[in-house]
Amino acid sequence: MTTVEHSLRTLLQEGLRSGALGPGAKLPTERALVDRLAAPRNAIRRALETLEQEGLIVRQVGRGTFLTDATAPPTEAAPADTSPTEIMQVRLLIEPPVAALAARVATQADLDRIAHCLDRGGRSDGYQDFETWDTRLHHAIAQAAHNGLLMSIFDVMNTARALPIWGSLKRRTSTPERLRCYHTEHSAIVEALRDRDPESAQDTMRRHLQNVADNLLGRH
């Protein structure tokens, strides 16, 4: 993540926390962001392109740049004592049906965003970069289901992945071979989404998450 992208994300987060910004809010112009962040215009443009690819903003020719529903903060966080076992149990309950729904209703823009996350994950250099794009990929798939209530539930669940116990366990159990395996499984999920095959999307997501659970919890 570049310094400019980090600064822009911080600006948006501050606006969301204060209530000055929310889903559908119009962002300042590129020229205004250049002045506000003291950054070159091309760097601002690249940062905006990244946020657009993640589905956090939408740019409309002649109208401006707007925040999407994906920027809405979760109403609550997962309990601080949530265990990795609990996280994986909930993920296995929620994410396979979400993938099936996404296969039915995802737009081409959704599929492009998901493919971008898949590509970046496949080109990741090390655990931390892969984990970042892994999180964004699963979030993009959930977003492609176009269900606000479901997205709120997903976001609450996803806050558990920021807990220290989750990060330390993932780091200890991740190997280059496993990351390659996860990328292959991600690719199968994305292929099912592109094929508009809900059953395959659900099955491939379930198998992937079961494999992650087995690796994390030492079931092999």
pTM: 0.70
* pLDDT of 12: 85
* pLDDT of 72: 62
- DSSP H/E element including 4: helix 3-18
> In sequence order, what DSSP letters do the residues of the chain get, joined into one string?
--HHHHHHHHHHHHHHHHTS--TTPBPPPHHHHHHHHT--HHHHHHHHHHHHHTTSEEEETTTEEEE-GGGSPPSS---TT--HHHHHHHHHHHHHHHHHHHHHH--HHHHHHHHHHHHHHHT--SHHHHHHHHHHHHHHHHHTT--HHHHHHHHHHHHGGGSHHHHHHHHHH--HHHHHHHHHHHHHHHHHHHTT-HHHHHHHHHHHHHHHHHHHTT--
* pLDDT of 75: 52
Complete domains list, the chain, with CATH:
3-71 (1.10.10.10), 84-216 (1.20.120.530)
| pLDDT digit string, tens, across residues 154-173 | 888 888 877 888 778 888 88
**Mean pLDDT of the residues in the chain:** 88
